[in-house]
Structure formats: structure tokens, C-alpha cells
Amino acid sequence: MAFTVGFDSGTLIVEGPADVEVVEGQCDVLGFPLAGPVHVDEFRALPITPKGRCVVGVVGGVVRHVNESTIPSGWSSLSLEGIVMIVGDVDSGKTTLSTYLLNTHVVKGLHVCVVDADVGQSSIGPPGVIGAGCTSFPTHSLSALHMMSGYFLGCTSPSQCVGRFIGGLLHVVRDVMSRTPGLVIIDMPGWVSDGGVEFIRDAAEAVGADYVVSLGLGMRAWPGTRVIEVERSRYVRQRSPSERRMLRVASLRQYLSNLVEVEVSLDKVFGNSIIECLAGNCGRYVVEEGLDNVVRHGNVVKVPTRQISNAFCGLLRRGFLVGFGILRDFDFKRRVAKALVTTDNFDGIYVGRMRVDPDRVEELDPLPFI
């Protein structure tokens, strides 16, 4: 259903899926001058603020008006440079703040890079990937940025791959710093408990963060890094686990399109210890049909065939991420695998723990962690 809404104060919040366009007047989204049309994805929301009287046309979605700004007053005082890490709990508004900071700093003439390290709810690149984009122009959403640098993890929580996450984050930050930005914004995952704070500090120290902007965590400062506490927005959309999973599926479908089938040598495949061991005939693991779960027999671990197939992978060329794919089936005797890939121009394949159904392009249970 299409309709128009006119307002001159407060904030109009449009929840997707919807398409929005300015019909009359001026308004913005987190500092981005809205013109149109702009698409709002399902399970995401667009906060529209008028500049005087504004009339917008909306197709689909759900609309509500609130009588205040959805942006906390403390956000507008943030004037930053160097490397800034945004941290907070799940659904605390990290991506909203990252978008707002990008927009408020590019209008000052800064070239800004955003490193999307929220690998479970990624905006730049598919899930399981640390992606980055750079721009000198405002944007309504980080998903509108082109992924110009990426590092494949193959896990949707850094708690599953702490060492590789920190190494990958450093790799991407170094890459974007070579483009001499005035500001680098790192949108971190929502892991803040059970070792999460220590993880944040380790990551901040690894990349040399100048600031850590904390959304209500009450973090203590430590030598070499300034911690800035800011208020969370009361209007950040809370997502259920099923909604977060559906967002990952939508992102996977975007990046796993136009796949071609190839046969690859297992000499090119690395990353997952089980697959590497099976490829090298190490004797510790055995793949068997008909098993429901992993079974241990002394020093040998039997792994169900279905839990090894359909591994999500990153395609590398000369050490750089150039595409994505799915390793469908393995033939460990011939040391080859059938793969569906976005490009056949690669010399290496990295596999983490993520698995993807190649027919429906949906997230499957991860590879076993043994």
C-alpha cells in the first residue's frame, strides 16, 4: 500500500520492507539528506527527521511518529579522528551510531572508512566476513557502501574464532589506513559478556584504536585509549534470534548469486582443522554415512558426512579475498571437492565453521567443533 505522510517535528520511523521517497520539503536520515527512493530492508528501520515541513511517500512497511529525535543529544558532540571503535551489546545501536558518525564527519570534509566487524549482523559484506567501505559522501545505510576490503572468518561470533578475528580486523584496518582516511570507524560485534570486555580491549590494542565509544557499557579507560561513554537510543529496533538469522540469509543470498560449479584440489583448502586433517589423511577423523552425531572411538572421531558438506568458504587470490563459495561435497580419496563459486579466478580457499544450503541458500548448523 502506498501513502504519504507530512510532518514538521519529531521523527518518522519507517520499518521495512518499504520504499521511501521525499515528495515535498527536506528531511534527513542520521545526517543523510533524504531524496529518494530509498529501500528499507525487512527487520530494519529508517529514522526520518524533517528540516521544516517534510512530506514523504511510503510504499509498504510500518510507520510510526515519535515527538522527539531518536538520536541521543550526546551523539552530536562527538568530533573524532583516527581509529574509533564502536562497542555495545546486541541491538544497542552500534550500526546506527556508526552511520551517524560517518555522515556528520564527511560533511566536515573527512574521507571516512567503516570497518564492519559485526560478523553476525553484517552490513558490508556477507555474514562471517569483516568488510570495509570508504566514502566522502553521506549515506542512509552502511549496506550502501561498496565492500572494498574484506577478510573471511567463516564464523558468526568472534567467540568462535578470537585469534583469527583479531588478526583479520588488523588486516582490514591496515588496508583501509593505506587509503589515508581522516576517520576509521569500527562497528564491533555485540559480544560484551563472558570475556567480551577483554576481547574488546585486545582488539582495540591490536589495531591501535584512538577512541572506544561505548554504548552504555560503563567501560573503564586503559592506557593508550580514550573511552567515551554515550547514551543508547531508546528507539533502536530489537530483533529476535530468528530475525537476525533471516537477515544473515538475505545477505548470503545477495553475495552467493550467479554461482558456477568447479572441482577444486584440497591442496587449495585450508582453515578448518577437521577438513585439513581429513584431506591430509591424519587418521584422527573418519567421515561416515548414516551417523546422526559425532562419535568418539578412542583416539578416532567419526563425523557424519552431512556435517562436513556445504561449507561456506572465502575465495582468495594472492592472499586477498576475491569471492565466496560453498564446498558441496568432498572426495577425500581423490583429494578434491565439488564447489559452487562466485569466481573461478582464485588460488586458495578458506573454510571456517559456517555451512550454507546451496539450493535454498540458507544457513545450516555449523561444522562441528571438536
Q: CATH number, domain at 36?
A: 2.60.120.1030
Q: How far apart are CA 165 and CA 149, in angstroms?
A: 15
Claim to verify: residue 34 and residue 114 sit in the same structural domain: no
Mean pLDDT calculated for residue range 10-27: 97
Specify the residue for cell string 559480544.
191
Claim to verify: residue 195 and residue 54 sit in the same structural domain: no
Q: Is residue 369 included in any domain, yes or no?
A: no
CATH number at residue 238: 3.40.50.300
Computed over every residue of the chain, the mean pLDDT equals: 95
Q: How confident is the model at residue 299 (pLDDT cuts 50, 70, 90)?
A: confident
Residue type, 160: Q
* Dihedral sign (CA 316, 275, 338, 126): negative
Take residue 171 and report the three cell numbers written for it.
Answer: 588486516
Claim to verify: residue 103 and residue 240 sit in the same structural domain: yes
Claim to verify: residue 179 and residue 108 sit in the same structural domain: yes
Pairing label, strands 112-116, 129-135: antiparallel
pLDDT higher than threshold 80 for residue 36 = no
Question: Which of these, 314, 85, 79, 101, lies nearest to 206 by C-alpha position?
Answer: 85
The answer, yes or no, to whether the previous bond of 33 is cis (omega within 30 of 0) is: no
Mean pLDDT calculated for residue range 13-38: 95
Q: How far apart are CA 177 and CA 184, in angstroms?
A: 8
Q: Which residues pair with 63 in a beta bridge?
A: 14
Take residue 346 and report the three cell numbers written for it.
Answer: 582464485
Pairing label, strands 38-40, 11-29: antiparallel
Claim to verify: residue 108 and residue 209 sit in the same structural domain: yes
pLDDT higher than threshold 90 for residue 244 = yes
Burial of 227 (0-12, 13-18, 19+ CB in 10 A): buried
Q: How far apart are CA 263 and CA 250, in angstroms?
A: 27
Claim to verify: residue 218 and residue 319 sit in the same structural domain: no
Residue pair 255/324 in contact by the 8 Å Cβ criterion: yes
Q: How far apart are CA 302 and CA 368, in angstroms?
A: 11
Residue type, 183: L
Pairing label, strands 183-187, 82-87: parallel
Claim to verify: residue 85 and residue 229 sit in the same structural domain: yes
Q: How far apart are CA 225 and CA 10, in angstroms?
A: 36
Q: Is residue 108 included in any domain, yes or no?
A: yes
Q: How confident is the model at residue 370 (pLDDT cuts 50, 70, 90)?
A: low
CATH number at residue 324: 2.40.30
Residue pair 313/350 in contact by the 8 Å Cβ criterion: yes
Claim to verify: residue 79 and residue 141 sit in the same structural domain: yes
Could you give the C-alpha distances from 136 to 182, 183, 189, 327, in angstroms and in order?
Answer: 10, 11, 25, 38
Cα 272 from chain centre: 21
Number of domains the chain is built from: 3
Mean pLDDT calculated for residue range 226-233: 96
For 300-343, the pLDDT digits (tens) are 888 988 889 999 999 999 999 999 999 999 999 999 999 999 99
Last residue of a domain, one of 45, 66, 87: 66
Q: Is residue 117 included in any domain, yes or no?
A: yes
Q: How many Cα neighbours within 13 Å face the side chain of 163? A: 2
Mean pLDDT calculated for residue range 143-164: 96
Specify the residue for cell string 545505510.
141
> Domain range spanning residue 37?
2-66
Claim to verify: residue 112 and residue 222 sit in the same structural domain: yes
pLDDT higher than threshold 90 for residue 152 = yes
Task: Determine the Cα angle at 8 with ends 239 and 103, to 5°.
Answer: 55
For 87-126, the pLDDT digits (tens) are 999 999 999 999 999 999 999 999 999 999 999 999 999 9
Claim to verify: residue 87 and residue 201 sit in the same structural domain: yes
